[in-house]
Structure 1
Amino acid sequence: MNPCHRFLRFAVIAAAASLVAACASSSAPPPVAAPAAPQFTSPITAQQVVGKWGLAAYHRPEDASRTEAQARQGCRQPYVISAGPSGGFMMYLADQSQPSEVVSKQILPGPTYIGLPDEPPGAETDREVVRFDGQVMVLKWVDPEVAGRYGTMVYVRCP
């Protein structure tokens, strides 16, 4: 056999052996899993908020009790919260002319928020639940600019 052919054969066998050895000894690194988004709970159900509500708002904490009384008077022209098509409830977001489906959301042990279901709790478009007992619901906008314009919203369930 020609020395060039023998050298070429040896080189091919050596290259093949290296590839086989490399494939056998190297394992692909495990896929890097994206960090799981924290799951939030919905402590306030749609059934608890669907209905007619009197609505008023305040900017100063000392006006809270007076505003609750004004919200009761708002039942003459109630704010209606209806059930949403996907299990949430329909409310207006800031500066929107059409209601959006929202949910209550919370990552324990944090505060409860009401906002869009595809955003994390505490998103800029959310409202923080300051108080909820089934008859009175007090919500404060997360976005400071919106909170400055709309104030803290007081909803009182209409009879």
Structure 2
Amino acid sequence: MNVSRCVARLAFVATLAAVLAGCASPPPPRPIEPARPQFTSPITAQQVMGKWGLAAYHRPEDAARTEAQARQGCRQPYVINAGPSGGFMMYLADDAQPSEVVSKQVGNGPIYIGLPDEPPGARSDREVVRFDGQVLVLKWMDPEVAGRYGTMVYVRCP
């Protein structure tokens, strides 16, 4: 009996040691998320909030004429409001409700307007072709959307 108690104690101590060793080992490493480039917002929400005339063109030679048409659009302006998280509200392609977007740029690269949780240049983004505070020209990144909507010209309403 003495031997069986000794074997039982040894088995208990071995089990306890194994459990404690498992507790002492470090947790498995977490998968590392790929680093996203930090982007800046060179165009602020305050710079684009307001009422805009809107028109679009498909051929570059129509840009000047389209800008004049956009001025006429101030009779029924496209309104850009502040977003709840510091961005601004604009419609994405084929969406009936506006979404909060931001301007984003990496380094000295192109400026885009799009969803804040997507990298600059994402398919749902628009590239800023021109912005001077009074005129904003945006080109859709998705070729299919660009084919339908063209290059968007926004002219600030008086």
Q: Shorter-chain TM-score: which interval?
A: 0.7 to 0.9
Work out the CA distance in 1 between the residues paired with 2:82 and 2:109.
Answer: 25
- Tell me by how many angstroms 1:34 deviates: 2.7
Work out the CA distance in 1 between the residues paired with 2:32 and 2:68.
Answer: 49
Amino acid at match of 2:141: V
- Tell me by how many angstroms 1:108 deviates: 1.2
Secondary structure (helix, strand or coil) at the match of 1:146 reads helix
What is the match of residue 18 of structure 2? none
CA root-mean-square deviation: 2.9
* Structure 1: gaps of 5 or more residues: 1-22
**Deviations for 1:123-158, whole angstroms, at most 9, x for unmatched residues?**
111000000010000000000000000000000000
* Structure 2: gaps of 5 or more residues: 1-20
Does residue 34 of structure 1 match 2:32? yes
What is the match of residue 150 of structure 2? 151
Query: What aligned pairs does 1:2-151 form with structure 2 within 5 A after superposition?
Result: 34=32, 36-151=35-150
Work out the CA distance in 2 between the residues paired with 1:111 and 1:73.
Answer: 29
Work out the CA distance in 1 between the residues paired with 2:106 and 2:48.
Answer: 20
Residue identity over aligned pairs, in percent, reads 85
Secondary structure (helix, strand or coil) at the match of 2:81 reads strand
Moved over 4 A (4+): none
Aligned residues: 156
The TM-score, its normalising length taken from structure 2, stands at 0.81
**Deviations for 1:32-85, whole angstroms, at most 9, x for unmatched residues?**
873621111111000000000000000000000000000001001100000000
The TM-score, its normalising length taken from structure 1, stands at 0.80
